[in-house]
Every structure is written in C-alpha cells, then in structure tokens.
Amino acid sequence: MRLPNWLHKLASPPHFYRIAGRIEPWMLWSGLAAIAVGAFGGLLLAPPDYQQGDAYRIIYFHVPAAYLAMQLYALMAIGSAIGLVWRMKLAYAISAAAAPVGLAFTGLALATGMLWGKPMWGAYWSWGDARLTSVLVMFFLYLGYMLLHASLEERSTADRAAGILAVVGVVNLPIIKFSVEWWSSLHQGPTISRLAAPAITWDMLWPLLVMIVGAVLFSLAVTLTRARAEVLLRERGARWVRDVVAVGA
Amino acid sequence: MSIWLIVLQHEFLIYFKKWIHIIINITFFLISTSLFSIVAGLEPELLAQWGAGVIWVVAFLSMLLSMPLLFQPDRDDGTLDLMLLSAVDPAWLALAKAGANWCVFGLPLVLLSPLLAASYGMQGTALVVLPATLALGTPALILLATVAAALTAGLRRGVGLLALLVLPLALPVLLFGVRGTELAVDGLPAGAPLMMLGAFLLVAVGLLPWAAGAALRATAN
C-alpha cells in the first residue's frame, strides 16, 4: 500500500516545520480561549448537580484529560505504526513529541479522578475499578515508551523499538480494560457517549464540550511545537535547518 | 523448520551449560514465596487466600530474572547477528528462544507450585488449579517478556527497564491466574479463568513472536 501524495509532501521535514509553525499559534490561542470559556461556563454558569452538588464540576477537567490521555496514546501508536510500516521518520518524531503530553494528561486524569472519587465514593482509589486500573496501566505504558526511547542511544533504533512497544500496548489496552471489568465497577457510566439522548442537561453539557474542544486544540498545539523542536533536533545536520536557525523564521 | 529445531537445540545446550542459573531461579522462587508466608504470619485461611497472589507474582518476577539470558549472551558474541542474517524468520527465532526459556525456567515453577500451594494451606482442587493456571499463564508471560527483552537487548543493565515494560502489559494474565486459583481455594469452579488464560496464550503465541522478531530486527546493530 502506498501513501497518498499530499501525505508524502507533508512528510518532508522542512515542509512540516513550516506548515506546523503556521497552524500552531492558531490552535494554541483558540484552544486557550475555548478552555477559558469552558471553565467559566462549567465552574460558574452551569447549575449544581442535584446529587453531587458542586463537586461534579471537576468533570470539566477530568473528562477532557481522560479523553486526551486515550487520544494521544492512539496518536502515538498510529504514528509509530506508520513509522514502522512506511519508514516515515516524521511519524516517529510526532509520536515521540506526543508521549510526554499524553503522560501529562494521563496524570491529570488520574489526579482529578482521585480528587473526585474521595467525596463521591469515599475513597481516592479503588483497585477493583476497570477504568482506574487501565488508566494507571496507560500511565505506565507512556512512561515505558519514554524511558525506552531515552535509553536507546541511536535515535532510529529508539524510534523503532519504542514504536513496537506503543503498538503492542495499544493492542493490549482493551484486553487489560476488559480483564479488570471482570470485577464489579465503581466508576459511573459515560455521560456523553450516547449522542441521541445525553444523560446530562444542555446547561451542563455545553461547557464540557467546549472544554474538550479547547483541550484537544491545546494538546495538539503543544504536540506540534514539540514535534517541530524534534524535527529541528533530528535534522540538525541538514541545510534547511541552518537556514531556519540563521533567519530565525 | 529444521533450522528452527537447530535454534531450539542451541538454546537448550546453552541453558544446560548455564545450569547454575536454573538452580538460582528456582531457589529465588522458593525463598521469596517462603519469605512472604513467614513475614506475613497470617491465619491459615488468610494464607491460602493470599497464596495465589504471592505465588503468581513471585513466579512472574523470577521469570523476569532470567530474561537477560534470552538475547544478551547471543548478542554479545555475535550469534544473534548471524541468526538474524540467516534464512530463519526472526519471529520463529523469538518463538524458539521463548519456548526453550519456558521449558527451563517456567516449567520447574509449574511443577513445584503444588508443593508451595500445600505449604500455603491450599487444599483439594486448588492444588491442581494453581499449576494449571501457571502452565497456561507463564508461557504467555514469557512471550511478553521476550518482546521486552528484544527491545532492551542492546542495553547494559536493561533488566529494570525490561521489568517496567512488561509489568503493566502482564496484568490480564496475572489477574486471571490469581482469580482462577482463588476460586478454586473457595471451592468454586475455575473453568472460566482457565479458558481466558488459554485464550491469552493463543493470542500471545500468534502475535507476540512476530512483535519480538520485529524488535530484534529494530535493535540489531
């Protein structure tokens, strides 16, 4: 199977560096704006929950963080798979750039989840819960990817080895999830996965959606910035990098 | 296929020359499991309940101990590079190495486990179910560890990183191994966890040698 032409063009590092540099500020500022609007709407405008009171408002940080923890892992694994199959170096650079961002959001999801769990379940942590455990495992998988990547000195070896780990992890994650679900689950069901009739009122829902969009834009902007730095570092011998650094563009 | 058998034979020869490692591994397994029961000093019923988890985790750790032997010696003396240059698919190579490793390091643990189970106060079917879960689960764990060993083959003192890579991925196997044994300790039927372990093993045999082969190619110099 061959890659489409536009993807080939985008895969050239100088081209990617330019395009990403142009998109990145837009993503960053619109993402931050959306986060500000969503936080305002979620923390001040949305009505309190009849059961959970104001404590539920941590959902506006917890759900976007958990969503991004998964999405960035998927991005990392897809980038690695593309790199492994088509030997595309840029895909590896994006995977490597996404890993710390994903780790940070996974940590945020765990932390907000624990803070939420204490008043709601009466415990910060429950080992029998499928989601908690599988997110913790995902945290360790991110960590393993980054440590393996950092310990192998040659970058192309590190890319491929860590890429294989990311792909094995993405196959294993659903298995881990369903294995832990064998135990009864404490975690409340998903709030907004049912598109037709969400189990949440619109007043509470819109800030959450705005927060998710903002968090996605923000995380992509950070990933792109990191990927640009990766590309510069990896291509540091190349002529175009010297030109970029000299001009400062 | 005949080359595959030669690789397998080569592995066994190497392991029997390094028989001391086999003894060390078994001793580690026995000492650690006994330490747990001595230190915990639990009531007999609690001991039987905890035994499944302790025996499983220690079995896993003692298998991880043997993992640096899987690729490192062959890599150091160049045998691994020659093997990768040969006509053998690296996936078959990884499967042969994992298979030999299990026969030498995994099988003794399976055979010893009824003894340990008895020392932990387990009775009846648990004495059969624990070895059965180990027999189904440890090969899957070895295959997972083979992938990690191949990924870290080039690293000095890579065993810590290897453990860190394998531990989260091994969770399902450990869960079902321990759960099956616990069910048997409580006198309940343990068929379902055993079947799940069998399913994991089949998936592991089908997919992981392939990943390990790719990892060997990736980290070869």
Q: For residue A185, what pLDDT is reported?
A: 45
Residues from A contacting B (CB-CB < 8 Å) are: 84, 133, 137, 140-141, 143-144, 147-148, 151-152, 157, 160-165, 167-169, 171-172, 175-176, 179-180, 182
Do the interacting molecules here have an ipTM over 0.95? no
Q: For residue A184, what pLDDT is reported?
A: 45
Answer positive or negative: Cα dihedral of A117, A123, A125, A128.
negative
* Cβ atoms of B174 and B140 closer than 8 Å: no
Question: Which parts of chain A have pLDDT scores under 50?
Answer: 184-186, 194-195
Chain segment B160-191, per-residue pLDDT in tens: 889 889 988 898 899 889 888 888 888 888 88
Asked if residue B108 has pLDDT above 60, the reply is: yes
Q: For residue A216, what pLDDT is reported?
A: 95
B168 CB within 8 Å of a chain A CB: yes
Q: For residue A145, what pLDDT is reported?
A: 94
Of A151, A169, A179, the CB nearest to B155: A151
User: Token pair 């007043």 is at which residue?
Assistant: A203
Contact B175 A182 (CB under 8 A): yes
Contact B165 A137 (CB under 8 A): no
User: Token pair 């294989």 is at which residue?
Assistant: A164
Contact A152 B219 (CB under 8 A): yes
Residues 131-150 of B with CB under 8 A from A: 147-148
DSSP string, B90-151: HHHHHHHHHHHHIIIIIHHHHHHHHHHHHHTT--TTHHHHHHHHHHHHHHHHHHHHHHHHHH
Contact B211 A144 (CB under 8 A): no
Contact A144 B164 (CB under 8 A): yes
The set of residues, in sequence order, having a beta carbon less than 8 Å from that of A2 and lying 6+ positions away, is none
Asked if residue B58 has pLDDT above 70, the reply is: yes
Chain segment B1-56, per-residue pLDDT in tens: 677 788 888 888 888 888 888 899 999 999 998 888 888 776 777 787 788 889 99
CB pairs under 8 A between A and B: 74
Q: For residue A191, what pLDDT is reported?
A: 59
Q: What is the mean pLDDT of chain B?
A: 87
Which pTM does this prediction carry?
A: 0.86
